Amino acid sequence: MNNEGHVRSRRGTMLASLAAILAALMLGSTGWPLMAAQTRTGRCNVLQDQLSDQLKTHSGSSRSAAAATMGAKAKKLCAGGKQAQGLRAYAKALQLLGVQPIDPK
């Protein structure tokens, strides 16, 4: 009987530990999409600033109007929660000007 009580106690401890680990994993995993969204939002801001600077530098060029239009579209996408699409649009706008988008580390 004493051995049976010990097994139950150990099993209960193991189940409680497993439940705590699973809860921590579930809570921890919910933070990743939020971190990714913050990173993308920050990247949108960086590319928006880069495009703004490059439009000043390349004003009057044949592609500056198209790049500005694409930049406005990118800004709307980023503000509307579609950061991945906005980032692609910023990259295309910068490439129209012959500029490599900044790649944050």
Q: What is the pLDDT of residue 77?
A: 96
Q: What is the pLDDT of residue 32?
A: 46
Per-residue confidence in pLDDT tens, the chain, 105 aa: 556 655 566 666 665 665 656 555 555 544 445 445 568 889 999 999 999 999 999 988 889 999 999 999 999 999 999 999 999 999 999 999 999 998 765
Report helix, strand and coil shares of the chain as percent, to nearest 5: 80, 0, 20
User: What is the 8-class DSSP label of residue 102?
Assistant: P
Q: What is the pTM of this model?
A: 0.63
Cα separation, 83 vs 74, whole angstroms: 8
Domain layout of the chain by residue ranges: 32-96
Cα separation, 40 vs 23, whole angstroms: 27
Q: What is the pLDDT of residue 28?
A: 53
Query: Which of 103, 50, 56 has its CA nearest to residue 75?
Result: 50
Q: What is the pLDDT of residue 102?
A: 87
CA atoms within 13 A on the CB side of 98: 6
